[in-house]
Amino acid sequence: MQGISPFLWFNNQAEEAAKFYTSIFKNSKIKQVTYYGEGAPMPKGKAMVVVFELDGKEFLGLNGGPMFKFTEAVSFVVTCDNQEEIDYYWSKLTSDGGQEGQCGWLKDKYGLSWQVVPAAIGRLMSDPQKGPRVMAEVMKMKKLDLKRMEEA
């Protein structure tokens, strides 16, 4: 078992979100669902905590009510090997009401922020000659275009 796991507070869509995320990422599954019982702050039988894996990494989702919302202060980075992967994850995570952001950032339909980036971004950005041009290109993009970044 991994020692640190993200714990995500949802209003009432934790189980739905876990199903959505596990349908997108390979090597993913819902591991356990604990339900609210009598006298709980949510209806009896509603999922309370959902334990799930995304690409082999454990996450927990809580149906805790509307008091807390996700912000861009926390995001998950999806590192992609090629443009096909970037396109896939971007399309899936922005589907059904997700929102495109700038520079490879997006919010999914639950309001959770993601960064969909090429694995080569560190190499491209850290090059003393090329880095500033790559950054200038990235600033013009929503979904990242690896070819444009490499050609910068």
- HEC-encoded secondary structure of the chain: CCCCCCEEEECCCHHHHHHHHHHHCCCCEEEEEEECCCCCCCCCCCEEEEEEEECCEEEEEEECCCCCCCCCCCEEEEEECCHHHHHHHHHHHHHHHCEECCCCEEECCCCCEEEEEECCHHHHHHCCCCHHHHHHHHCCCCCCCHHHHHHC
Q: Give the tens place of pLDDT for each residue, 87-125.
A: 999 999 999 999 999 999 999 999 999 999 999 999 999
**Chain-wide mean pLDDT for the chain?**
96
pLDDT for residue 2 = 67
Beta bridge partners of 19: none
In a domain, 82, yes or no: yes
| pTM score above 0.85 | yes
Indicate whether 1 pLDDT > 70: no
Please report, for residues 22, 40, 41, 78, 94, the alpha-carbon distance to residue 26 in angstroms, rounded to integers and kept in the order given.
Answer: 7, 34, 34, 12, 18
Per cent of the chain over pLDDT 70 is 99
Number of domains in the chain: 2
| Domain assignment present for 2 | no
Q: Which domain holds residue 42?
A: 7-63
The pLDDT tens digits of the residues spanning 43-84 come to 999 999 999 999 999 999 999 999 999 999 999 999 999 999
- The verdict on residue 116 lying in a domain is yes
CATH number of the domain enclosing 20: 3.30.720.100
